Amino acid sequence: MISKKPRVCFVALDTYPVLACDRRIDQVGGTQVQQSLISKGLAAEGYEVSMVSMDYGQAQTLEIGGVTLHRTYAPDAGIPGLRAIHPRLSMLWRAMARADADIYYQMGCSRLTAWVAAFCALHRRRFVFAAAHDLDFDPSVPLIQFAHDKWLFRNALPHAHAVVVQNALQYEAARSVWKLNPLLIDSCGAEPGNANPRHDGYVLWAATIRRWKRPELFLELARRLPDKRFRMVGGAASGKDGLHYFEEIRTQAALLPNLEFIGFVPFADIDAQFDGASLFVNTSESEGFPNTFLQAWSRRMPTVSFFDTGARHEGRAVEIVVSDAVQMAGKVKSLLDDEQAWSGTGRNCRAYFEAHHSVAQTVGSYASLFAELMLGKSQA
């Protein structure tokens, strides 16, 4: 007999630091935040929820916020060239078997998608793939480094029983490029403790410092507006190149008297960075649906970026989209110099957040999807 509420496992190897609010681990991102919020939200609704996690020194099995974690391998475990099979694949499948879920959920394009899809096919379980970035559906799969991993992902994605997307751009790409039947489910954001931003606060940039996020454009923005205050929050990306680029940006930031460079901030402490800001800026080439936007919008805080998420409230764009650094500087200055315009834009942001991005709404959408899957209906 099929249970009304299926057992759900999130194969989210690097989400433990966010889920556990572990300040010791320099790791945080929008994908981890979403999986943490959704998994805890499902658990609060009575679902039996588990998560497969890398070994960060935690117990082999433990419970956090109603979510049971199953430990796999340490991030650097194994011999290069061989560790893809053991300990990574072998220990991953063992942990997935211990979870014994009806539905396995994996977010973001990688070879992990293929491993989860294969496990689900072998064990006759349902597999849900969720997009994490607009480039997940780019035909060249640029977010995956190696050709064989690209091949694995391309061949695994059509075997998902459901494909979830974050925005209209991803929806169209999944349909036109991959010939899938995706389901759009809005990302969710937690309610802030302080939903009243300060017009006299600083302009905030917060993300992992990667080249495609173009933090140097935020430095340029600070140079163009020397009478405004700016704050940059973010740690280094993995690898030697990531650390080198982080140091390069930090060195340049130190030359700007109106910019405060904070560096990495654990997810448990990030709210304080948003609470002191008046405006949020994103300089990325592209994104999925930034969790930072939801953190800003929930606080009635306007956002300025180079890309359009497609968010609209009563026919009005939610974020302010610009085409170049000059236009970005102009928009930021106009909002900071006009409190009435800033306040009106912020109210529109908050109204949109309330209408589309609560945890309850997102969890409800997933609950409906899971019920369909357990009836034997594939969405993709």
Quote the CA–CA distance of 14 and 48 in Å, as a whole number. Answer: 20
- Asked if the domains 8-188+358-374 and 202-356 are classified in one and the same CATH topology, the answer is yes
CB count, 10 Å around CB of 324? 10
- In Å, the largest CA–CA distance within the chain is 66
Identify the H or E element spanning 53: strand 49-53
* pLDDT string in tens for the chain (380-residue length): 445 799 999 999 999 999 998 877 777 788 999 999 999 999 999 999 999 999 999 999 999 999 999 999 999 999 988 999 999 999 999 999 999 999 999 999 999 999 999 999 999 999 999 999 999 999 999 999 999 999 999 999 999 999 999 999 999 999 999 999 999 999 999 999 877 788 999 999 999 999 999 999 999 999 999 999 999 999 998 888 999 999 999 999 999 999 999 999 998 899 999 999 999 999 998 888 899 999 999 999 999 999 998 899 888 889 999 999 999 999 999 999 999 999 999 999 999 999 999 999 999 999 999 999 999 866 66
CA distance between the termini of the chain? 25
CA distances from 183 to 2, 17, 126, 139, 222 (A): 23, 28, 16, 19, 39
CB contact at 8 A, 152 and 146: no
Domain ranges of the chain: 8-188+358-374, 202-356
Rg of the Cα atoms in the chain: 21
CB count, 10 Å around CB of 85? 10
User: What CATH architecture applies to the domain 8-188+358-374?
Assistant: 3-Layer(aba) Sandwich (3.40)
Quote the CA–CA distance of 37 and 33 in Å, as a whole number. Answer: 6
Question: According to the model, what pLDDT value does residue 351 have?
Answer: 95
- Check if CATH label 3.30.980.10 holds for domain 202-356: no
Identify the H or E element spanning 64: strand 61-64
| Own/partner long-range contacts of 63-70 (Cβ < 8 Å, ≥24 apart) | 64/19, 64/20, 65/19, 65/39, 65/40, 66/40, 67/10, 67/19, 67/39, 67/40, 67/43, 68/99, 69/16, 69/19, 70/95, 70/96, 70/98, 70/99
What would the pLDDT profile of 159-212 be if each residue is shown by its tens digit?
A: 999 999 999 999 999 999 999 999 999 999 999 987 778 899 999 999 999 999
Token pair belonging to 63: 């419970």
